[in-house]
Chains A and B, each alone.
Chain A
C-alpha cells in the first residue's frame, strides 16, 4: 500500500464546497456539544445556572469515589457482556442453521430480519408487556410451568434480564445477517473438501466456518458492545428506568438521571466525558483490528 501511486489533480474550491456540509454537521452537532461537555465537566453550577464555579477535576474525583457510579459500571459491564454474548450466540446458531439449509433460505432470512425494523423503544415496550407482572403471557407461563414468580419491578436480576432480552432481541437480526453473509462468502469447495477429509457438519463448523468468519465475529463484537453501551437508553427508559433501586442503572442512563433529574450538570458532564473516552478506546480497537480479512 505504501508504494501505491496516486493521481493528483489541481484542486479548486469544489472539493471544499463538497465536504463543507458534512464538516458543518460534525462541528455543530458533535464537536461543539462534546467540547461543551468537557468544559462543563470542570464546573459546578446550581440547577438554575445562577452560580457557576470552576472546580478542576473535582467532579471526576467525586465520581470515582461514588459507590453508585462504580455499581453503574458493574451493571453496564454485566449488561453489555451478557447481551453481546447472547445476541451473538443466538445469531450464530440461527445463521449456521440457515446456511446449512438448501431450500427456503430466503424465507427464513426475511423473517429473521424483521425484528431489526422494530424501533428499540417499541421492542422494549413489547417485551415489558410480555413480561408484565400481572398481564404478561410469559410471566404466566413461567409461573404455571416453572413455578417462577416474575416481577421485574421488584426483582433487580429479573429487571436486568428483561433489558438484556429487550435490547438483545433486535440485535440478533443484525448479527444474523452479517453472520449469514460471512458464511455464504466461504467458497463451497472448502466445505466440500472438509467433508471429503472426513469432518461432519459440527466439526466443519468449528474448524472451518468459525475461523473463517472470525473477522465478521470481531466486527460484530465491537458493534454490539457499542450498542449495549450507548444505544440502549430508550430500552431502559421505556422499561425499568434504571430500577428497581440501581439494578439497571447503566452508564448512559445514569448520565441522564444525574444531569436532568438530579440537576448535577457538572457530574453528569463528567460521566459523559468518561463515556467519550470509552467510545474512543473502542473505536481505536475496531479500526486497528477490523482490517484483518480472510483471503481465500
Chain B
C-alpha cells in the first residue's frame, strides 16, 4: 500500500510536448481516474508512472520514493493493458505465475497465491486453458489476475474495458469496483469514457492537451466544472454554452443576435461583462411562457423512451446558438416551434470566454 505523487511532470517526444506540467497526489488506497479525449496524454502519464516512458522533467514518487530512474520491475506496480497483453504461449496459470516465478518464490507459495487470485476473479476453472481459448471478458479477468496476484503497491489500468462490448463493460465495471473495495490498493485508471470515469473514480483528473483541466471528485467535477472543456467533456449531451453579454442590471444575458436569456438569480457583479453562460441539458425543464428564462426554437426531437432529447436554436434563424435539453418524454409532445424553458439557480454556470475558466456567482 502506498501513495503516488506526480510533481510538475513534463514529457516531450522530440519537439512534441505531450505532458505539460501535471501535478497530483494520489492517497494510499485511492482510486483515481485519468480521463480525457484521445491524444490528451493520459496514457503517456500512466506509462510514466509505470516506468515504460522516461520523464522529461518533474518527479514521480511511489510510496515516498522518487522513481524517475527506477526500472518498472522495481517500482512495485502492476499494469493491465488495453489489449490485455497475455502471454499467448502460456496457460492462464502460467500467465499469473510468471511474475512470481521471476521473483523466485517457492513453488508452493506461487500455487497458493495463484489459486487465491483465481478464486477472487472466478478463474479457477480456466487455469489450464490458454489465452486464445478465452472470451474477451475472461481474458480481461486473467489480465487483472496477473496484476493482483503479485499484491503490488499500485495498480495501473490503461483503458482496460475499451475492447469489451457494452454489456460486458458494465459488468466488468462493477467487478472492478468490488475488487477495489476488497483490496483497497492505490489505483490509477486511464479511460476516455466519461461514464467509466464518473462511476469508478473516487477522484478524477480531467486532462486536455497535456494539461490538467480539473482534479476533483466525480460529482464535484459534474456540478462545478472548472473550465468550459470539462463542462463539455463530462455530461452527455454536453453542457449548453451560450455566449453573450450580461446586461447592466445583471439579470439577463443578451446574445450577439439580440436574444435574451433571463437569469434565475441576479449577478450585478458581472454587469456589462462578456461571458459564456452554461446550463446542462438535463437541468432544463418546460414551463409557462410567463416563467420562461429562455425560449429556443425546437427543430429536432430524439425520443429515448424514458426521456427525450430536444434540439433547437436560440434565435429565429439557424445562425443562433444551438441548444439541447433533456426533457420528460410526455412534456415535449405538445411543444413544437418555440419552447419556453427554465432552470434552477444552482444549475447556472458562468465561464470567462477568454480563458474558459469558471466564474463563481
* Chain A contacts to B: CB under 8 angstroms: 187, 189-190, 192-200, 203, 207-208, 211-212, 294-296
In the complex, the answer to whether B73 meets A198 with C-beta atoms within 8 Å is: yes
Whether A193 pairs with B85 at a CB distance below 8 angstroms is yes
Interface assignment of B89: CB less than 8 Å from any CB of chain A: yes
Residues of B within 8 A of A208 (CB): 87
Min CB distance B138 to A, Å, is 15
Contact of A196 with B87 in the complex, beta carbons under 8 Å: no
Answer yes or no: B305 CB below 8 A from chain A CBs. Answer: no
| A-B pairs under 8 A by CB, number | 59
With A187-B83, A197-B102, A199-B102 in contact, is A212–B73 under 8 Å at CB?
no
Contact of B85 among A189, A199, A203, A212 (CB under 8 A): A189
- Assess the B52–A198 pair: CB atoms within 8 A: no
In the complex formed, the residue of A with least CB distance to B75 is A196
Minimum CB–CB distance from A296 to chain B (whole Å) comes to 5
Contact call A195/B72, Cβ cutoff below 8 A: yes
User: A192 contacts which of B81, B88, B99, B132 (Cβ < 8 Å)?
Assistant: B81
**Residues of A contacting B73 in the complex (Cβ-Cβ under 8 angstroms):** 195-200
Taking a contact as CB atoms under 8 Å apart, the answer to whether A196 and B88 are in contact is no
* B276 close to chain A: CB less than 8 A: no
Instruction: Compute how far the CA of A207 lies from the CA of B95 in the bound complex, rounded to whole angstroms.
Output: 11
For B83, list chain A residues within 8 Å (CB): 187, 189
Which A-B residue pairs are the 3 nearest by beta carbons? A197-B99, A189-B85, A198-B73
Segment 208-243 of B: residues with Cβ below 8 Å from A? none
Assess whether B102 is in contact with A203, with CB atoms less than 8 Å apart. yes
B89, A189: Cβ atoms closer than 8 Å: no
Enumerate chain A residues within 8 angstroms of B52, measured Cβ to Cβ: 192, 195-196
Bound-complex Cα distance A193 to B80 (A): 8
Minimum CB–CB distance from A195 to chain B (whole Å) comes to 5
Contacting B89 at CB < 8 Å: which of A198, A200, A212? A212
Q: Is the CB of A196 within 8 A of B79?
A: yes
A296 to B79 alpha-carbon distance, docked (Å): 18
* Cβ–Cβ < 8 Å partners of B87 in chain A: 190, 193-194, 208
Residues in A whose Cβ lies below 8 Å from that of B263: none
B6: interface (CB < 8 Å):
no
What chain A residues lie within 8 Å of B207 (beta carbons)? Answer: none
